[in-house]
Amino acid sequence: MSSFEADISKRIVTLVRDILAQNSISADVTTDVKLVDIGLTSMDMVNLMLGIEAEFDFTIPQELITPENFQSVATLERLVSGQLAAAKAA
């Protein structure tokens, strides 16, 4: 994992922890843990999506807002990396 990817991953973990804290949930947030398994609801996923868009300054394309992309920190990191790379290439 490059430092760029590690930074993205760390920022996503922080967003997930913030949402869990708002719900008074304490969980070990690792890159591979399923977000629903640690207590994120569908409403939390929407908040996470908005948080990611604000944190990384881009809009997630509608077709990428899928349960698969929002499974874990690792899947979100791939989504964010792909979007940032596409923006850089544009």
Give residue 35's pLDDT. Answer: 97
Per-residue pLDDT 10s for the chain (90 aa) are: 678 888 999 999 999 999 999 999 999 999 999 999 999 999 999 999 999 999 999 999 999 999 999 999 999 999 999 999 988 887
Give residue 68's pLDDT. Answer: 96
Give residue 4's pLDDT. Answer: 83
Q: Please, are residues 25 and 89 in contact by the beta-carbon 8 Å criterion? A: no
Return the structure tokens found at 4.
Answer: 């760029």
Residues whose CB falls within 8 Å of the CB of residue 19, separated by 6 or more in sequence, listed in order: 40, 44, 47, 48, 51
Domains of the chain: 3-79 (1.10.1200.10)
Task: Determine the Cα–Cα distance for residues 66 and 11; give it in Å rounded to an integer.
Answer: 20
Q: Please, are residues 65 and 5 in contact by the beta-carbon 8 Å criterion? A: no
